[in-house]
């Protein structure tokens, strides 16, 4: 029996589902850190999970939005939020900002790969496709932090974040032009982006700060 190869649609659905769960988890951890109520937890997790992909779909004029097309993901998000709230409350789980960064790094890589691939599938130029990947991967986290009354971590911690997504997006473009199988393109780019972000977190590598002299203020 010959097994048919994984199609682009199947690969994208799988990658976006895992990315949605990873980002939802980072949103949950931030909501727990801020001690939000049940509504706040669901809203923050939902914004983190769906915000970037929704903006991508708006910019690319894709309908229905990816989460509307997979409404079961909403039920999964609600169930995950309820279970997490019960678990954390029962165990008095201490949530730190650093703990939130690991699922966020996974979501960053997966959404970078899927966002860039979706844009390429819609015949976008390479640079536009890469930027769509960056938007998909970063905007959910930006919304999460804004709603939680924080300067977005993508802008303030000085460790490469959007830069990792930008590099991963170009990996998608390069692998696609080499005509690699779609699932290989997605997995390779996701692993590269996540690996770069994880390396920055482990080593503490930071991008240069904008330094303003006294005479420039």
pLDDT tens, residue by residue, 5-26: 556 566 677 777 888 888 888 8
Cβ proximity of 145 and 193 under 8 Å: no
Q: What is the pLDDT of residue 1?
A: 39
What residue has token string 């997979």? 70
Q: Higher pLDDT residue, 183 or 45? A: 45
pLDDT at 4 > cutoff 50: no
The Cα-based distances of 36 to 32, 100, 161, 192 in angstroms read: 6, 16, 26, 34
What residue has token string 């997605």? 186
Q: What is the pLDDT of residue 96?
A: 58
Instruction: pLDDT band for 169, please (50, 70, 90 cuts).
Output: very high
pLDDT at 2 > cutoff 50: no
DSSP the chain: -PPPPPPHHHHHHHHHHHHHHHHHHHHHHHHHHTT--HHHHHHHHHHHHHHHHHHHHHHTT-SS-TTTTTTHHHHHHHHHHHHHHHHHHHHTPPP-HHHHHHHHHHHHHHHHHHHHHHHHHTT--HHHHHHHHHHHHHHHHHHHHHHTTS--HHHHS-S-SHHHHHHHHHHHHHHHHTT--HHHHHHHHHHHHHHHHHHHHHHT--PPP----GGG-
Closest CA to 140 of 9, 30, 61: 30
pTM of the model: 0.82
Give the residue extent of every domain in the chain: 8-205
Q: What is the pLDDT of residue 159?
A: 85
Cβ proximity of 141 and 159 under 8 Å: no
pLDDT at 154 > cutoff 90: no
pLDDT tens, residue by residue, 90-148: 554 555 566 667 788 888 888 899 899 999 989 999 999 999 999 999 998 899 889 98
pLDDT tens, residue by residue, 26-76: 888 888 888 888 899 899 999 988 999 899 999 999 888 888 888 888 888
Closest CA to 118 of 108, 109, 128: 128
């Amino acid at each position: 029996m010959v097994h048919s190869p994984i199609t682009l649609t199947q690969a994208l659905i799988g990658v976006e589902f895992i990315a949605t769960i990873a980002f939802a988890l980072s949103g949950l951890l931030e909501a727990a850190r801020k001690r939000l109520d049940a509504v706040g937890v669901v809203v923050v997790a939902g914004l983190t999970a769906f915000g970037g992909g929704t903006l991508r779909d708006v910019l690319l004029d894709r309908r229905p939005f990816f989460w509307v097309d997979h409404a079961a993901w909403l039920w999964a998000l609600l169930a995950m939020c309820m279970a997490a709230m019960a678990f954390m409350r029962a165990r008095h789980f201490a949530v730190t900002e650093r703990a939130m960064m690991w699922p966020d790094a996974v979501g960053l890589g997966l959404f970078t790969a899927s966002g860039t691939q979706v844009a390429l599938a819609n015949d976008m130029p390479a640079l536009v496709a890469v930027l769509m990947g960056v938007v998909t991967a970063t905007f959910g986290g930006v919304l999460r932090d804004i709603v939680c009354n924080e300067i977005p971590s993508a802008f303030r911690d000085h460790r490469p974040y959007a830069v990792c997504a930008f590099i991963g997006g170009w990996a998608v473009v390069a692998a696609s032009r080499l005509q690699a199988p779609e699932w290989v393109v997605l997995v390779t780019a996701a692993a590269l982006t996540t690996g770069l972000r994880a390396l920055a977190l482990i080593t503490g590598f930071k991008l240069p700060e904008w330094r303003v002299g006294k005479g420039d203020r």
